[in-house]
Structure 1
């Protein structure tokens, strides 16, 4: 009979610990959700406007990628102008030297 009682005791302890862990997870989820909602509200974002927020963030991402691409093109253009200027200067130098 002692073995049955020990097994029952172990099952009760396991169930109790599982319930405490579930409650703790639910509390943590609730706290995280509240913290995120509070943070968004402090930025002036209503938590009911999730679709608009998603669209705004998508627009900002496209804008950032466009600016990065423009910077890349601008850098390539500057390098091209510098190299072209150098080649023209060398060509004019050779032309003047051979012309004398």
Structure 2
């Protein structure tokens, strides 16, 4: 088995593997676009999670501060 045979076998194996997992090996630009779309989707969901957490923390903090204010105001009267 020479180097050309090894290269051919590897190329066929890679092409078959990519095809089995749903990546069109003949059109790498489309695969790149798909991966870029997945990345932007992932970063969007991470941003939404982070913003939701910050909003929840803000609401809880405002509620606690409101309770403290009402307790202090109630004792002052």
Q: C-alpha separation between the residues in 2 aligned to 1:44 and 1:94? A: 63
Q: Deviations over 1:60-88 (max 9, x none)?
A: 10110111111111111111111110000
Runs of at least 5 residues in structure 2 that lack an aligned partner in the other structure: none
Structure 1 segment 5-44 matched on structure 2, within 5 A: 23=2, 27=6, 29-44=7-22
Say whether 1:71 aligns with 2:23: no
Runs of at least 5 residues in structure 1 that lack an aligned partner in the other structure: 1-22
Match of 1:60 in 2: 38
* Number of aligned residues: 77
Q: If the length of structure 2 is used for normalisation, what is the TM-score?
A: 0.82
Q: Secondary structure at the match of 1:45?
A: coil
Report the RMSD for the aligned CA atoms in angstroms: 2.2
Q: C-alpha separation between the residues in 2 aligned to 1:78 and 1:51? A: 41
Q: Deviations over 1:21-61 (max 9, x none)?
A: xx55972x444433221111112332112111110100110
Q: C-alpha separation between the residues in 1 aligned to 2:4 and 2:63? A: 66
Match of 1:86 in 2: 64
